[in-house]
Chains A and B, each alone.
Chain A
Amino acid sequence: MKNRSIALGLSMFLLTGAALADDDCDDPVSGWQPRENLRQQLEADGWEVYRIKVDDGCYEVEGRNPHGSRVEASFAPSNFELMELEREDEDDDDDERDDDERRNYQADGNRQQTMPSNGIVKGRPSVSVQ
Protein backbone atom coordinates (compact mmCIF):
# COMPACT_ATOMS: atom_id res chain seq x y z
CA MET A 1 0.00 0.00 0.00
CA LYS A 2 2.79 2.30 0.99
CA ASN A 3 4.68 1.45 -2.20
CA ARG A 4 1.61 2.23 -4.30
CA SER A 5 1.30 5.67 -2.67
CA ILE A 6 4.93 6.41 -3.34
CA ALA A 7 4.59 5.27 -6.97
CA LEU A 8 1.46 7.40 -7.39
CA GLY A 9 3.16 10.43 -5.84
CA LEU A 10 6.20 9.94 -8.04
CA SER A 11 4.14 9.66 -11.22
CA MET A 12 2.16 12.80 -10.28
CA PHE A 13 5.44 14.63 -9.73
CA LEU A 14 6.78 13.52 -13.11
CA LEU A 15 3.55 14.47 -14.85
CA THR A 16 3.63 17.91 -13.26
CA GLY A 17 7.25 18.27 -14.29
CA ALA A 18 6.38 17.36 -17.86
CA ALA A 19 3.56 19.89 -17.88
CA LEU A 20 5.83 22.62 -16.53
CA ALA A 21 8.54 21.74 -19.01
CA ASP A 22 6.16 22.44 -21.90
CA ASP A 23 7.28 26.06 -22.08
CA ASP A 24 10.92 25.10 -22.49
CA CYS A 25 12.46 25.08 -25.94
CA ASP A 26 14.56 22.15 -27.09
CA ASP A 27 15.59 23.28 -30.56
CA PRO A 28 19.10 22.05 -31.43
CA VAL A 29 21.55 24.94 -31.23
CA SER A 30 22.68 24.30 -34.80
CA GLY A 31 19.20 25.36 -35.98
CA TRP A 32 18.94 28.59 -33.99
CA GLN A 33 18.41 31.82 -35.87
CA PRO A 34 20.23 34.95 -34.67
CA ARG A 35 18.31 36.95 -32.08
CA GLU A 36 18.66 40.02 -34.32
CA ASN A 37 16.33 38.28 -36.80
CA LEU A 38 13.74 37.95 -34.05
CA ARG A 39 14.20 41.59 -33.06
CA GLN A 40 13.70 42.71 -36.66
CA GLN A 41 10.64 40.49 -37.09
CA LEU A 42 9.03 41.76 -33.90
CA GLU A 43 9.82 45.40 -34.65
CA ALA A 44 8.32 44.94 -38.13
CA ASP A 45 5.20 43.64 -36.36
CA GLY A 46 5.01 46.80 -34.26
CA TRP A 47 6.77 45.60 -31.11
CA GLU A 48 9.17 47.70 -29.12
CA VAL A 49 11.94 45.33 -28.03
CA TYR A 50 13.92 46.19 -24.89
CA ARG A 51 15.92 43.02 -24.40
CA ILE A 52 16.32 39.53 -25.80
CA LYS A 53 18.04 36.89 -23.71
CA VAL A 54 18.23 33.11 -23.68
CA ASP A 55 16.23 31.34 -20.97
CA ASP A 56 15.44 27.61 -20.80
CA GLY A 57 16.52 27.22 -24.40
CA CYS A 58 14.09 29.91 -25.63
CA TYR A 59 14.60 33.49 -26.69
CA GLU A 60 12.96 35.52 -23.95
CA VAL A 61 11.87 38.96 -25.12
CA GLU A 62 11.07 41.90 -22.87
CA GLY A 63 9.28 44.74 -24.54
CA ARG A 64 5.95 46.19 -25.56
CA ASN A 65 3.54 44.52 -27.92
CA PRO A 66 1.82 46.50 -30.70
CA HIS A 67 -0.98 47.37 -28.24
CA GLY A 68 1.51 49.08 -25.94
CA SER A 69 1.35 46.49 -23.16
CA ARG A 70 4.51 45.59 -21.33
CA VAL A 71 5.14 41.89 -22.01
CA GLU A 72 7.64 39.11 -21.56
CA ALA A 73 7.45 36.51 -24.31
CA SER A 74 9.35 33.31 -25.11
CA PHE A 75 10.03 32.22 -28.67
CA ALA A 76 11.50 29.02 -30.07
CA PRO A 77 14.95 29.99 -31.40
CA SER A 78 14.71 28.01 -34.65
CA ASN A 79 11.32 29.09 -36.03
CA PHE A 80 10.35 31.94 -33.63
CA GLU A 81 7.19 30.11 -32.60
CA LEU A 82 5.60 31.88 -29.61
CA MET A 83 5.95 29.58 -26.60
CA GLU A 84 4.78 31.78 -23.76
CA LEU A 85 3.44 35.30 -23.33
CA GLU A 86 3.14 37.10 -20.03
CA ARG A 87 1.81 40.55 -19.46
CA GLU A 88 3.81 42.37 -16.80
CA ASP A 89 3.04 44.94 -14.17
CA GLU A 90 4.70 48.26 -14.80
CA ASP A 91 6.79 48.55 -11.65
CA ASP A 92 8.18 45.06 -11.31
CA ASP A 93 11.88 45.47 -11.84
CA ASP A 94 14.78 47.70 -12.65
CA ASP A 95 14.37 47.35 -16.40
CA GLU A 96 10.86 48.64 -16.15
CA ARG A 97 12.07 51.51 -14.04
CA ASP A 98 14.44 52.22 -16.91
CA ASP A 99 11.55 52.29 -19.33
CA ASP A 100 9.47 54.47 -17.04
CA GLU A 101 12.43 56.75 -16.76
CA ARG A 102 12.79 56.89 -20.55
CA ARG A 103 9.17 57.89 -20.92
CA ASN A 104 9.41 60.46 -18.18
CA TYR A 105 12.40 62.04 -19.86
CA GLN A 106 10.19 62.64 -22.86
CA ALA A 107 7.52 64.12 -20.65
CA ASP A 108 9.32 66.37 -18.26
CA GLY A 109 12.92 66.39 -19.38
CA ASN A 110 14.33 65.47 -16.00
CA ARG A 111 13.57 63.28 -13.04
CA GLN A 112 16.24 63.35 -10.40
CA GLN A 113 15.49 62.62 -6.79
CA THR A 114 18.69 63.88 -5.20
CA MET A 115 21.07 66.73 -5.82
CA PRO A 116 24.52 65.76 -7.08
CA SER A 117 27.25 66.49 -4.59
CA ASN A 118 30.54 65.75 -6.33
CA GLY A 119 31.72 69.37 -6.60
CA ILE A 120 31.72 69.39 -10.41
CA VAL A 121 28.04 69.50 -11.31
CA LYS A 122 26.13 72.35 -9.67
CA GLY A 123 22.42 71.85 -9.23
CA ARG A 124 20.23 69.40 -11.06
CA PRO A 125 21.08 68.51 -14.65
CA SER A 126 18.37 68.66 -17.28
CA VAL A 127 18.38 65.45 -19.33
CA SER A 128 16.38 64.23 -22.32
CA VAL A 129 16.59 61.40 -24.82
CA GLN A 130 15.44 61.84 -28.42
Chain B
Amino acid sequence: MRKYFVVFGLVMTMFFSATASAREVTFDTQLTNYRGDGAYLAIYLTDSNGVYQGTLWIAGRDSEYYKHLRGWARGSRMRRAEYDGLTGASITSGRTLTMTMNIDDSFIDNGYEIHVDTAVEDRRDNRSDVMVPLTSEGAGKPVAGRGYVKSFTYNF
Protein backbone atom coordinates (compact mmCIF):
# COMPACT_ATOMS: atom_id res chain seq x y z
CA MET B 1 0.00 0.00 0.00
CA ARG B 2 2.81 2.35 0.89
CA LYS B 3 4.37 1.63 -2.47
CA TYR B 4 1.24 2.98 -4.21
CA PHE B 5 1.40 6.20 -2.21
CA VAL B 6 5.01 6.67 -3.21
CA VAL B 7 4.19 6.11 -6.89
CA PHE B 8 1.14 8.41 -6.66
CA GLY B 9 3.26 11.09 -4.98
CA LEU B 10 5.90 10.82 -7.69
CA VAL B 11 3.31 11.11 -10.46
CA MET B 12 1.69 14.15 -8.84
CA THR B 13 5.08 15.79 -8.30
CA MET B 14 5.97 15.26 -11.96
CA PHE B 15 2.56 16.60 -13.05
CA PHE B 16 2.78 19.76 -10.98
CA SER B 17 6.41 20.44 -11.82
CA ALA B 18 5.58 20.07 -15.51
CA THR B 19 2.60 22.42 -15.38
CA ALA B 20 4.35 24.93 -13.12
CA SER B 21 7.37 25.27 -15.44
CA ALA B 22 5.39 26.94 -18.22
CA ARG B 23 2.89 29.78 -18.31
CA GLU B 24 0.22 30.39 -20.93
CA VAL B 25 0.79 33.72 -22.62
CA THR B 26 -1.38 35.37 -25.27
CA PHE B 27 0.24 37.88 -27.62
CA ASP B 28 -1.81 40.28 -29.75
CA THR B 29 -0.02 42.11 -32.54
CA GLN B 30 -2.18 44.58 -34.44
CA LEU B 31 -0.77 46.07 -37.64
CA THR B 32 -1.31 49.58 -38.95
CA ASN B 33 -3.19 50.21 -42.20
CA TYR B 34 0.03 50.55 -44.18
CA ARG B 35 -1.72 49.31 -47.36
CA GLY B 36 1.01 47.13 -48.77
CA ASP B 37 1.75 43.44 -49.25
CA GLY B 38 1.50 41.01 -46.34
CA ALA B 39 3.97 41.79 -43.57
CA TYR B 40 6.55 39.31 -42.35
CA LEU B 41 7.00 39.32 -38.59
CA ALA B 42 9.55 37.71 -36.30
CA ILE B 43 8.59 37.61 -32.62
CA TYR B 44 11.48 36.47 -30.47
CA LEU B 45 13.14 36.75 -27.09
CA THR B 46 16.45 38.31 -26.16
CA ASP B 47 18.17 38.68 -22.82
CA SER B 48 18.60 42.12 -21.25
CA ASN B 49 21.73 42.68 -23.36
CA GLY B 50 19.80 42.11 -26.56
CA VAL B 51 21.33 38.68 -27.18
CA TYR B 52 18.95 36.39 -29.07
CA GLN B 53 17.48 33.56 -26.97
CA GLY B 54 14.80 31.97 -29.13
CA THR B 55 11.90 32.36 -31.53
CA LEU B 56 8.26 32.64 -30.50
CA TRP B 57 6.72 33.01 -33.96
CA ILE B 58 7.52 33.83 -37.58
CA ALA B 59 4.65 35.18 -39.71
CA GLY B 60 5.46 34.54 -43.35
CA ARG B 61 6.25 31.20 -44.94
CA ASP B 62 8.80 32.05 -47.60
CA SER B 63 12.18 31.70 -45.92
CA GLU B 64 13.75 33.59 -48.82
CA TYR B 65 12.53 36.79 -47.17
CA TYR B 66 13.57 35.97 -43.61
CA LYS B 67 16.82 37.91 -44.03
CA HIS B 68 14.71 41.09 -43.95
CA LEU B 69 13.76 40.33 -40.35
CA ARG B 70 17.16 41.69 -39.54
CA GLY B 71 17.52 41.45 -35.79
CA TRP B 72 16.04 37.98 -35.70
CA ALA B 73 18.06 36.82 -38.73
CA ARG B 74 21.26 37.93 -37.10
CA GLY B 75 20.51 36.28 -33.77
CA SER B 76 19.01 33.04 -35.05
CA ARG B 77 21.27 32.82 -38.10
CA MET B 78 18.04 31.75 -39.76
CA ARG B 79 18.62 28.14 -38.72
CA ARG B 80 15.59 26.05 -39.50
CA ALA B 81 15.65 24.43 -36.05
CA GLU B 82 15.05 27.88 -34.56
CA TYR B 83 11.65 28.31 -36.20
CA ASP B 84 10.51 24.78 -36.95
CA GLY B 85 6.88 24.48 -35.85
CA LEU B 86 6.67 28.21 -35.21
CA THR B 87 5.74 29.68 -38.59
CA GLY B 88 2.51 30.78 -40.23
CA ALA B 89 1.12 33.12 -42.85
CA SER B 90 2.19 36.70 -43.34
CA ILE B 91 -0.18 39.29 -41.88
CA THR B 92 -1.96 41.80 -44.07
CA SER B 93 -2.45 45.46 -43.38
CA GLY B 94 -4.70 46.30 -40.43
CA ARG B 95 -5.08 42.72 -39.19
CA THR B 96 -4.28 41.34 -35.75
CA LEU B 97 -2.17 38.27 -35.09
CA THR B 98 -3.20 36.52 -31.87
CA MET B 99 -1.09 33.68 -30.56
CA THR B 100 -1.38 31.74 -27.36
CA MET B 101 1.51 29.59 -26.20
CA ASN B 102 3.04 28.08 -23.11
CA ILE B 103 6.31 29.79 -22.31
CA ASP B 104 8.90 28.43 -19.95
CA ASP B 105 8.55 30.27 -16.62
CA SER B 106 12.25 31.03 -16.44
CA PHE B 107 11.82 33.59 -19.25
CA ILE B 108 9.22 35.62 -17.36
CA ASP B 109 10.27 38.36 -14.89
CA ASN B 110 13.90 37.51 -15.44
CA GLY B 111 15.11 40.37 -17.62
CA TYR B 112 14.12 38.88 -20.97
CA GLU B 113 12.65 41.06 -23.71
CA ILE B 114 10.23 40.42 -26.54
CA HIS B 115 11.23 41.84 -29.91
CA VAL B 116 9.10 42.10 -33.03
CA ASP B 117 10.93 42.64 -36.34
CA THR B 118 8.77 43.48 -39.35
CA ALA B 119 9.28 43.66 -43.11
CA VAL B 120 7.06 44.39 -46.12
CA GLU B 121 8.07 43.93 -49.74
CA ASP B 122 9.43 47.10 -51.36
CA ARG B 123 9.24 48.93 -48.06
CA ARG B 124 11.60 49.50 -45.18
CA ASP B 125 12.48 46.75 -42.74
CA ASN B 126 11.93 47.45 -39.06
CA ARG B 127 14.37 45.86 -36.71
CA SER B 128 12.74 45.84 -33.26
CA ASP B 129 9.51 47.46 -34.42
CA VAL B 130 8.46 46.52 -30.86
CA MET B 131 10.77 45.87 -27.92
CA VAL B 132 9.23 45.22 -24.51
CA PRO B 133 10.26 43.34 -21.33
CA LEU B 134 8.43 40.08 -20.63
CA THR B 135 7.24 40.78 -17.08
CA SER B 136 4.13 40.33 -14.97
CA GLU B 137 4.02 44.10 -14.64
CA GLY B 138 3.97 44.64 -18.41
CA ALA B 139 1.11 42.20 -19.00
CA GLY B 140 -2.04 43.77 -20.40
CA LYS B 141 -0.34 47.06 -21.27
CA PRO B 142 -0.45 47.86 -25.00
CA VAL B 143 2.78 49.09 -26.55
CA ALA B 144 2.91 51.04 -29.84
CA GLY B 145 5.36 49.89 -32.49
CA ARG B 146 7.54 52.22 -34.53
CA GLY B 147 6.92 50.55 -37.90
CA TYR B 148 4.02 48.44 -39.12
CA VAL B 149 2.89 47.44 -35.62
CA LYS B 150 0.12 49.62 -34.31
CA SER B 151 -0.21 47.87 -30.97
CA PHE B 152 1.39 44.94 -29.18
CA THR B 153 -0.01 43.40 -25.98
CA TYR B 154 0.61 40.24 -24.02
CA ASN B 155 -1.49 38.70 -21.25
CA PHE B 156 -0.93 35.81 -18.86
Contact = CB atoms under 8 A, between A and B. Distances in A.
Given A119-B54, A127-B57, A129-B95, A101 B102 contact: no
A14 to B, nearest CB: 35
Contact of A50 (B38, B45, B95, B101): B38
B147 to A, nearest CB: 18
Interface residues of A, number: 34
B96 interface: yes
B61 A117 contact: no
B85 A116 contact: yes
Contact of A121 (B61, B86, B96): B86
Contact residues of A: prevailing secondary structure = mixed
A121 B102 CA distance: 6
B7 interface: no
A123 B101 contact: yes
B23 to A, nearest CB: 9
Nearest to A40: B35
B56 to A, nearest CB: 6
A122 interface: yes
Given A50-B38, A121-B102, A101 B61 contact: yes
A122 B103 contact: yes
B89 A119 contact: no
A33 interface: no
A128 to B, nearest CB: 5
A125 B100 contact: yes
Interface string B50-68: 0001111100111000000
Interface of B: 21-22, 35, 37-38, 45, 53-57, 60-62, 81-82, 84-86, 88-92, 95-104, 107, 121
